[in-house]
Amino acid sequence: MKNLIVNADDFGRHELINRAVERAFNAGCLKSATLMAGGIAFDDAVKLAKKNSGLGVGIHFTLANGNPVLNPKKIPSLVTEEGIFHDNYVKFLKRYLSGKISLSEVRSELAAQLEKILNTGLTLTHFDSHQHLHHVPGVIEITLDLAKAAGIKSMRVASTKIFDGELDSLGKLFGRLGLGSLAKFAAHKAHKKNFATPEHFAGIVAGESVSENFMLNLIENLQDGTTEVMLHPGTDNKILCDFCQWEHDFEEELAAVTSPRVLNLLAEKNISAINFADLRLIK
């Protein structure tokens, strides 16, 4: 049996991301999204999730490149002088490895993010994290504890392939090697606590977008079991690139997962598009 989970990250970060999630769910193969509790379009995303029955919603735990839920004064090791998270995972990891990150503050902030989402009444299907920081030793134990207490039963494992996407720098090579090792560690921890995880991961993690050709090739060569595809769809590149400070083709990813060629090939190959709640049922 072959199943595909297409998951949109950053749900709630911007209304143009939310609109893309809704379109990809209703007219494409996207059945899952992870909600960013500190996003400026959080309330809009919650309304959209409740309106679109069948969209699986998880939590996108965030420790970098976003806004905290707690008062910044309560989590000084996690934020800049402006009261926001540090720019990216590299800065977080440098601070973490030099002992400047308080894990008790990590637990408090992530617990607050989870509580904010649960208070909306949404039932969460799974968890992952912004820039994959839930894979980090110390952080993975916290996220698993919080998720288990909340009744969440599934987790992303970003076991990226080294040669997915461009490999045009040593930074990308070492980044993928490092993430792959951390993903194996995180998966081991998750499975010991009886969390379900997809067998395969196919998102491109170095910033490139998932294209129609990427999806067609993936489907043609899909392995047995469940494969998750991570993506960041949006409806307006100019606005979102400026807002996110990230050169990414949001529109291409939306087009890829709503492509008639992609949808027809899924049907031809008898591959089911599912969400993480379905994953738990088939394990």
Query: If you write DSSP's letter for every residue of 89-119 in order, what string do you get?
Result: HHHHHHHHHTT---HHHHHHHHHHHHHHHHT
- Kindly tell me the burial class for residue 267, based on how many C-beta atoms sit within 10 Å of its own C-beta (0-12, 13-18, 19 or more): exposed
Tell how strand 2-11 and strand 225-231 pair up. parallel
What's the whole-model pTM score?
0.92
Average pLDDT over residues 17-44: 98
Residue 279 or 101, more confident: 101
| 55-83 tens-digit pLDDT | 999 999 999 999 999 999 999 999 999 99
Average pLDDT, the chain: 92
Give residue 77's identity as a one-letter amino acid code.
S
pLDDT over 60 at 176, yes or no: no
Question: For residue 203, what pLDDT is reported?
Answer: 75
Cα Rg of the chain, angstroms: 18
DSSP 44: H
Task: State the Cα–Cα distance between residues 83 and 72, nearest whole angstrom.
Answer: 5
Task: State the Cα–Cα distance between residues 276 and 58, nearest whole angstrom.
Answer: 8
Average pLDDT over residues 34-63: 98
- 180 band by pLDDT with thresholds 50, 70 and 90: confident
| 227-283 tens-digit pLDDT | 999 999 999 999 999 999 999 999 999 999 999 999 999 999 999 999 999 987 775
Q: Which of 89, 29, 37 is nearest to 55 (CA)?
A: 29
Domains of the chain plus CATH, in order, are 2-282 (3.20.20.370)
Number of alpha carbons in the 13 Å side-chain half-sphere of residue 191 = 11
8 Å CB contact between 206 and 176: yes
- 144 band by pLDDT with thresholds 50, 70 and 90: very high
Question: For residue 192, what pLDDT is reported?
Answer: 97
pLDDT over 50 at 117, yes or no: yes
Alpha carbon of 42 to those of 17, 102, 162, 190, 263: distances in Å?
A: 11, 26, 33, 27, 29
Q: CB 265: neighbour CB atoms within 10 A?
A: 17
Q: What are phi and psi of 11, to 5 degrees?
A: -60, 125
CA angle 274, 271, 129 (to 5 degrees): 35
Question: For residue 161, what pLDDT is reported?
Answer: 59
Question: How large a percentage of the chain has pLDDT more than 70?
Answer: 91
Task: State the Cα–Cα distance between residues 182 and 134, nearest whole angstrom.
Answer: 9
The SS3 assignment for 54 reads coil
Question: For residue 204, what pLDDT is reported?
Answer: 64
Task: State the Cα–Cα distance between residues 153 and 116, nearest whole angstrom.
Answer: 19
Q: What are phi and psi of 99, to 5 degrees?
A: 80, 15
Question: For residue 147, what pLDDT is reported?
Answer: 98
Question: For residue 283, what pLDDT is reported?
Answer: 59
pLDDT over 70 at 206, yes or no: no
Give residue 5's identity as a one-letter amino acid code.
I
pLDDT over 90 at 34, yes or no: yes
Give residue 160's identity as a one-letter amino acid code.
T
| 146-174 tens-digit pLDDT | 999 999 999 999 986 544 545 344 344 33
